[in-house]
Amino acid sequence: MPGRVAARRGFTLIELLVVLAIIAVLVGLLLPAVQKVREAAARISCANNLHQIGLAIHARHGETGTIPPSYLWTDTGKPGGPGGPGGGPQEVIDYPRPIKFVEVVWPGWGWAAHLLPYLDQDPLFKRIDLTAPTTGPGAAGVRAVRLPVYACPSDYAAGVYTVLKADGRPVADAATNSYAGCYGFGGDLTAAPAAGNGVFVRNGRLAFKDVTDGLSNTLAVGERPALLAASPWVGVIDQGTLRTTPGAPVYQSLAQPPQAMPVARVWNKRLNDPWSEPYDFFGPHPGGMNALFLDGSVRTVRPSTPLDVFRAAATRAGNESLPLPE
């Protein structure tokens, strides 16, 4: 009727709470699925990174006949030069603490730097003087370049970080590498970086013919994300340390000498063992880590992978005949 105002009905408080509860339930149901899809995409992207690294290794081998070294080292970096004070075999004393570096470790350019021309990064590679140290002023603009191919999407700590000395003082800023070359099974990769039985050793000039276990049976590169132990893609930063983070699967946060930066080893522990060390591989994905084998295939190494299988995969000429991860 004229003059009568129609009543407007809104939500009661109870109805509003019911709607919000329904929305919360739906979000709770959808969020795990979204996270699962996101992680699956990250894992695929990470595997693609490793696949590209594998192609680069093969391209470099086809051109030079060799697998890149874990890093370059020259004894001219020792005080007094070759034969001078500080001469003799390399020595790193990491126990008791603090770590003592007995010799200079340089120039330090690692396997990831050597692969740049085969990863569409030739302009960046041409900026590198392989005879000058990674800590030098000429290398400052190279060290901090972030390269997506060396960053796993699940590695949320990937990026530029500050490399620290054993006493906590800064050495240099550098971009991280989510991946580490395989030094082998056992051995001391800090005191004997040239003696590994894996694919990547100091000053190495190994060829595919030296891998008698078979390329498909030999682990080349695995994951060690910066969120667990940050290391630079350029290789070795002299006087720096490789440090585990509080979230890493280790019994305590540890720091290791710089020789461990470009490589990891397999020892007496399975993947992601709670007693792991900075120079171990780590799997950031649910279920394990992506692993590049020398034939270019990318497979999964799981925490449940038998230790003897993991060890066998780490060596290049161990003459093992064991089933490897699919």
What proportion of the chain, given as a percentage, has pLDDT over 70? Answer: 82
* Mean pLDDT for the stretch of residues 13-24: 75
Tens digit of each residue's pLDDT (9 = 90 or more) over 159-172: 999 999 988 899 99
pTM attached to this predicted model:
0.83
Tens digit of each residue's pLDDT (9 = 90 or more) over 209-243: 999 999 999 999 999 999 889 999 999 999 999 99
**DSSP class per residue in 130-157:** TTS-TTSGGGHHHHT---GGG--TT-TT
In this prediction, residue 107 carries a pLDDT of: 95
Q: Tokens standing for 170?
A: 């800064």
For 292, residues 6+ apart whose C-beta sits below 8 A from its C-beta are 50, 51, 53, 54, 179, 219, 220, 221, 222, 298
Closest CA relative to residue 314, chosen from 221, 248, 219? 219
Tens digit of each residue's pLDDT (9 = 90 or more) over 189-211: 988 999 999 999 999 999 999 99
- What whole-number distance in Å separates Cα of residue 234 and Cα of residue 177? 8
In this prediction, residue 87 carries a pLDDT of: 37
Exposure b/e, 146-158, CB count within 10 A at least 16 = b? ebebbbbbbbebb
| Mean pLDDT for all residues in the chain | 85
In this prediction, residue 3 carries a pLDDT of: 52
- What whole-number distance in Å separates Cα of residue 143 and Cα of residue 121? 14
* Mean pLDDT for the stretch of residues 75-82: 50
* Mean pLDDT for the stretch of residues 45-70: 98
Q: Tokens standing for 27?
A: 């979000």
- What whole-number distance in Å separates Cα of residue 244 and Cα of residue 277? 8
Q: Tokens standing for 137?
A: 């002023």
Angstrom distances, CA of residue 283 to CA of 13, 106, 161, 187, 280: 48, 29, 21, 21, 10
DSSP tally for the chain: helices H, then strands E = 5, 14
CA neighbours within 13 Å on the CB side: how many for 78? 16
Q: Is the peptide bond before 98 cis (omega within 30 degrees of 0)?
A: yes
3-state secondary structure of 17: helix
* Mean pLDDT for the stretch of residues 125-149: 95
Bridge partners (DSSP) listed for residue 161 = 174
Range of lowest pLDDT (10-19, 75-84, 294-303): 75-84
* Mean pLDDT for the stretch of residues 87-91: 41
Exposure of 293 by Cβ count < 10 A (0-12 exposed, 13-18 middle, 19+ buried)?
A: buried
Closest CA relative to residue 280, chosen from 232, 242, 246, 315? 242
H or E element, residue 109: strand 107-110
In this prediction, residue 8 carries a pLDDT of: 53
